Amino acid sequence: MSVSGGPLHSESDTNTMIRFAASPATAEVLPHGTSVSGAGNPRDSWLRHRIHRCVSDCPDTVGRVVEDAEQAQESYTPIAVEMAWRKAHIDDLPGSRLKDDLEALNRCSYTFGENAKQLATHMASFLGTGQHVHKVSEEYVLELVRLLHNYLMSVTTLIEAQRVVMRHRWPAEKKDGKSEFERNDYTNQLGIAFDSGETAFMVKLRNYSTHYAIPVPGISTTMSWGASRQVELVNALKLDRDLLLRFDGWGAVAKGFLEEQESKFDFAPIIERYMKSAREFFAWFWDQINRRSSEAKAELHCKATELFLWYSEQDVRPEWMTSGGEPPPGWNGRRELRRKRAQKRIERYAYGSRGHGGIAVDSRGVAMPGEDSWTPLPR
């Protein structure tokens, strides 16, 4: 079962660029506000930052401060400083935060899906078979309880992970701690998926498992004779209504559902319908969060790609050098590197520069150039 709908960026090249842009910088990340372009030399800015850190770390050792600062001036090239600042900028983008959140959500979705699959497979190994209940081992029941518990916990974990994504993407606007999306669209859809008596019971069953006792479905086999007079075995998993009602935390909706059931009621169809509702709800959420975040995702993609292409133009070392080998016979370094850099520059220029603020509309409806500290990369 796939709830996630796939990773945030499915293209392998795009993933490579974003991972590259989000990886630790070759130089230490500059503090916010440190200039790397415009007035002043970026290396001077970096040196001032390094001296400040040294003084903070060891204020009584002036000689060490100066020595460390001089090493920093020699070690951090303009390219390294540029990379550090650009990666810090990308890390601060809304799309970068969203990417991290969706990756975490996707892991929760995978856990939920695998737990659902394992539970369904284990149930099917008894239900729908000709195996009599007397031949079922105690280990089967213990494993059933474990898998049911894992599944119930993973549903709640996935819902909480969704709330993290929402509240990072759309911070609270009012005292209730919810954004407009969470207050309206999300709450309405959550009600459609989980507010029936049956689904409310399944949601509260998680609380029952956590605060009271892990439910133990009873296994049963009913024998009947068909038209051909052959014996038919019908297996079922049943819950004890009266035992469950000893718990006082069901709430009105779930308790009402329980009170309508027989003293021993069939549990398997309830689980199957709940799995379907949960799957559809999580698929809806994944689609909504991606569709409503297209601009943030596009900004991340554009800037990460632009930085990747720029760095590729700077780093034109041949493969034999990066792998620690020897140059091929007749290798002409200047010619080969110039040719490779020219090719990379063509690729970068073809892509262009797309992340510099765009057009913003003010409160009077007047279009103005948008603000963005992402200036064009050095030529």
SS3 state of residue 139: helix
Q: Is residue 354 part of a domain?
A: no
CB–CB of 267/237 below 8 Å? yes
CA atoms within 13 A on the CB side of 30: 27
Handedness of CA 25, 31, 36, 40 (dihedral sign): negative
**Cβ contacts of 308 within 8 Å, gap of 6 or more:** 16, 17, 20, 21
Order the strands of the 231-240 sheet from edge to edge.
Answer: 218-225, 231-240, 264-266
* pLDDT mean over 336-364: 77
* pLDDT mean over 269-278: 91
* pLDDT mean over 27-51: 41
Whether pLDDT at 231 is above 60: yes
CB–CB of 359/367 below 8 Å? yes
Q: Is residue 223 part of a domain?
A: yes
Q: Is residue 132 part of a domain?
A: yes
Q: Is residue 222 part of a domain?
A: yes
Q: Is residue 208 part of a domain?
A: yes
How many C-beta neighbours within 10 Å does residue 282 have?
A: 26
Q: Is residue 217 part of a domain?
A: yes
Residue-wise pLDDT for 122-180, tens only, equals 999 888 777 787 888 889 899 999 999 999 999 889 989 999 999 998 888 777 788 88
Could you give the percent of the chain with pLDDT greater than 90?
35
Range of the domain at 111: 105-153+174-291
Q: Is residue 363 part of a domain?
A: no
Task: Give the pLDDT score at 355.
Answer: 60
Number of domains the chain contains: 1
How many C-beta neighbours within 10 Å does residue 93 have?
A: 20
Residue-wise pLDDT for 91-131, tens only, equals 998 999 999 999 999 999 999 999 999 999 999 988 877 77
Q: Which residues pair with 184 in a beta bridge?
A: none
pTM, two decimal places: 0.69
Whether pLDDT at 293 is above 80: yes
What tokens were used for 211?
């605060």
Whether pLDDT at 337 is above 80: yes
Q: Is residue 42 part of a domain?
A: no
